[in-house]
């Protein structure tokens, strides 16, 4: 794929604030208590910081909803939010390049939502961690470098499911303020484009999967439910695909040389995406109910776009 063929996406709110842009979204979902994984997530954050340009994370979200400068004091607050809350059973972080304003929204974003498994909030809660990169980082470093970095981050995290994709990314949940018809048109045209929600499925995903992506990380019980390594390799006999075993009975499936946006106006959906989607279909997340609100029914269809 030629990276210069990827769409340049800049989305603004009705009030003309930059709220979202194109980039790469990387998320992991972990069915473990926050207190058991917080240190590993903190180490993964340090790996991310070393890999991105110095000072790329400049702002953080506070518990009361404010956004403050991530100076030395701010880093201490962020560390406490993740590692040293007085009650110890949950933690969170929301760090970004920019709080909004200017000409381009944030490209570098780190989010973490850690919670106990017995939390009363959500039907199938998981802890979730997310990293984003602007597209020019990928263009400068190359897809192979980003895949290696994603693997390094993944090794720290006892994930059940994870993925990396070309994406619409935004900080502090600001994508919801974008002009929605433009977002819908982009998602309808580019099947490989993810509307990156960071930790947005953390209250409901449980041990299920989201849709296949450029990088698809599978842990237990998903890997076993899919039939293990042999079933994956049998289902994906394509030259573009690699299936890499990881320690802890996990695997990374790479579907292409890079995160292809898949412009359906110029080509069909690649067969390896459809093949993995068919294998994963029984275990894909879906909202349940007879009369779902529109955003939930739209999400259900969108997560099955490769079928």
Q: What is the predicted pLDDT for the residue at 28?
A: 96
Question: Over the stretch 114-130, which tens digit does the pLDDT of each residue have?
Answer: 888 777 666 778 889 99
Structure-token match 């970095």, residue found: 149
Model's pTM, two decimal places? 0.93
Q: What is the predicted pLDDT for the residue at 206?
A: 84
Q: In this model, does residue 86 exceed pLDDT 80?
A: no
pLDDT band at 220 (very low <50, low <70, confident <90, very high): very high
Q: Judge contact between 1 and 139, C-beta under 8 A.
A: no
> What is the spatial distance between Cα 69 and Cα 98, in angstroms, rounded to a whole number?
9
Q: What is the predicted pLDDT for the residue at 290?
A: 78
> What is the spatial distance between Cα 157 and Cα 235, in angstroms, rounded to a whole number?
26
> What is the spatial distance between Cα 66 and Cα 81, in angstroms, rounded to a whole number?
14
Q: What is the predicted pLDDT for the residue at 1?
A: 46
- 246 vs 288: which has the higher pLDDT: 246
Q: What is the predicted pLDDT for the residue at 106?
A: 80
Q: Nearest CA to 154 among 130, 136, 135?
A: 130
């Amino acid at each position: 794929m030629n990276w210069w063929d990827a769409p340049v996406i800049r989305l603004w709110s009705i009030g003309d604030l930059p709220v979202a842009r194109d980039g790469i979204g990387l998320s992991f979902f972990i069915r473990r208590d926050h207190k058991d994984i917080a240190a590993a997530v903190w180490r993964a954050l340090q790996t991310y910081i070393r890999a991105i340009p110095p000072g790329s994370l400049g702002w953080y979200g506070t518990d009361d909803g404010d956004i403050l400068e991530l100076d030395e004091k701010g880093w201490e607050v962020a560390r406490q939010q993740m590692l040293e809350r007085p009650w110890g059973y949950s933690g969170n972080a929301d760090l970004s390049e920019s709080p909004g304003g200017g000409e381009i929204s944030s490209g570098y974003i780190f989010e973490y939502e850690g919670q106990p498994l017995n939390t009363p909030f959500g039907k199938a809660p998981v802890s979730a961690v997310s990293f984003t990169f602007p597209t020019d980082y990928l263009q400068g470093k190359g897809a192979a470098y980003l895949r290696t970095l994603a693997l390094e981050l993944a090794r720290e995290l006892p994930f059940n499911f994870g993925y990396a994709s070309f994406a619409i990314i935004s900080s502090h949940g600001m994508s919801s303020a974008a002009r929605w018809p433009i977002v819908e048109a982009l998602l309808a045209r580019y099947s490989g484009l993810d509307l990156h929600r960071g930790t947005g499925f953390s209250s409901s995903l449980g041990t299920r999967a989201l849709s296949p992506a450029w990088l698809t990380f599978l842990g237990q019980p998903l890997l076993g439910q899919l039939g293990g390594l042999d079933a994956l390799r049998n289902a994906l006999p394509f030259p573009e695909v690699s299936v890499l075993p990881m320690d802890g009975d996990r695997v990374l499936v790479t579907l292409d040389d890079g995160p292809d946006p898949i412009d359906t106006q110029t080509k069909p959906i690649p067969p390896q995406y459809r093949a993995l989607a068919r294998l994963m279909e029984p275990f894909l997340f879906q909202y349940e109910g007879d009369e779902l609100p529109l955003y939930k029914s739209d999400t259900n269809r969108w997560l099955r776009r490769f079928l």
